[in-house]
Amino acid sequence: MVETNEAMMGIFSDRLQQVAPSPIHTFSEAVSDVPNILKLTIGEPDFAVPEHIKAAAVAAIAADDSHYSVSAGSLALRKAAHQFLLTRYALDFQPETEILTTVGATEGLYTLLSAVLNPGDEVLIPTPAYPVYAEMTRLNGGQPLFVDVSDEAFLLTPDRLRAILATHQQVKAMILTNPSNPTGATYTPDELKALAAVLKETAILVISDEIYSELQYDGVHASMATYLPEQTIVVNGVSKSHAMTGYRIGILAGPAALIAQINKVHGFVIMTPSNPAMAAATEAFNCDRSLIDTQAMKAAYQTRRDFLVTELTALGFEMVRPNGAFYIFAKIPADLTQDDVAFAYDLVAREQLAVVAGSGFGPGGEGYIRISYAAAMPVLEEAMSRLKNYVANTRIA
């Protein structure tokens, strides 16, 4: 092993020095070796990839599909993504010019921020939010502008948006997660329309993270791109909808002129996504099959959500009933510690149950925990039994 030369540690950029290790990651590492640990921390589906999707990846390998594709990704995949977005959400992005294939939604988000941010530009992030947004913003020289929306059922309202924009002139972009990780909140068409009316008066780019779009329980998923097409880039993919997190395929969709600029960065960074993964994602986006695949998983998630909401409510946790994704963001009961980080560690120590402390998701997350229900029913039943024990034994009299 080579010794670390401390002087070499000074080579890293100021931007990187600003990025703190994620408290969620630190927690996950700290608890991973605890014997008998039960984790409801994971943000990835517990289902297997459907067989016909796996077969498409295998077929691509067998057919020697081993050369560089174009940076936007195979046209077959972009056509399938077009069909998917059109059929499911009435979004009509042209496969040749308005869709880009990325290495998961993650690369799409990073590339997009890298393409638009100048030093000091602000990125408006309604919180509690997916923590990666703030770190990616900092890594690209920008400043996250957190807007705590925990008091408005976790949704950004037009009034709050107007008020923030009145005092911040350097907002370049805004990240809207719909459905939301960590809260499961979803926006209705009217709510999006009202936000779009405010944003139309500005040149702010909306980065619409719709990676959980297939997992909306009541009502139909609505996209900001429907109401603000000139200023929205949709981020989506197959990771959550098709249980394909490890395949690493996402998409960006938006106006051709913006996509062309973003493709410049994307091409330099990743050149092109992996062919077998693109072949699998093409099959996944194939709409007739896609509906069968995603609807079965969604039905299972819904049953789990209903079970957890009932159990947690009985234990004194309060929550906005989540309408999407696979997370519950629950307020710790008043007669337990309100320090969510202490709560999370104590729950592991006493009951070997891991949930994520809410404060890691930014302002408004303090005093909450995030529970993932990307886990089978017997696991959730055992988890609730452990939580029941914990609450019974630690309640402040």
Interface with ligand PLP (CB under 6 A):
43, 104-106, 130, 177, 181, 209, 211, 237, 239, 245, 250
Task: Give me 269's structure tokens.
Answer: 């960074």
Question: 287: closest CA among 347, 334, 241?
Answer: 241
How far apart are the C-alpha atoms of 195 and 157, rounded to whole Å? 7
Q: Is 48 exposed, middle or buried (0-12, 13-18, 19+ CB in 10 A)?
A: exposed
- Give the DSSP letter string of 126-154: EES--THHHHHHHHTT-EEEEEE-GGGTT
How far apart are the C-alpha atoms of 281 and 235, rounded to whole Å? 15
CA 356 to chain centre: 15
295 Cβ neighbours under 8 A, 6+ residues apart: none
Shortest distance (Å) from residue 210 CB to ligand PLP = 9
Shortest distance (Å) from residue 42 CB to ligand PLP = 9
Judged by beta carbon, residue 177 or residue 359, the one nearer ligand PLP is: 177
Question: 336: closest CA among 318, 363, 320, 309?
Answer: 318
Judged by beta carbon, residue 43 or residue 367, the one nearer ligand PLP is: 43
Shortest distance (Å) from residue 148 CB to ligand PLP = 18
Question: 222: closest CA among 324, 327, 113?
Answer: 324
Shortest distance (Å) from residue 393 CB to ligand PLP = 32
Judged by beta carbon, residue 122 or residue 210, the one nearer ligand PLP is: 210
Judged by beta carbon, residue 39 or residue 390, the one nearer ligand PLP is: 39
In the complex, residue closest to ligand PLP by CB = 104
Shortest distance (Å) from residue 26 CB to ligand PLP = 17
Shortest distance (Å) from residue 248 CB to ligand PLP = 7
Shortest distance (Å) from residue 110 CB to ligand PLP = 10
Judged by beta carbon, residue 110 or residue 227, the one nearer ligand PLP is: 110
How far apart are the C-alpha atoms of 215 and 380, rounded to whole Å? 19
Judged by beta carbon, residue 104 or residue 276, the one nearer ligand PLP is: 104
Q: Is 91 exposed, middle or buried (0-12, 13-18, 19+ CB in 10 A)?
A: buried
Judged by beta carbon, residue 49 or residue 165, the one nearer ligand PLP is: 49
124 Cβ neighbours under 8 A, 6+ residues apart: 145, 147, 161, 164, 168, 171, 173, 174, 175, 204
Shortest distance (Å) from residue 44 CB to ligand PLP = 7
Judged by beta carbon, residue 150 or residue 177, the one nearer ligand PLP is: 177
Assess contact for 121 and 168: CB atoms under 8 A: no
Assess contact for 175 and 125: CB atoms under 8 A: yes
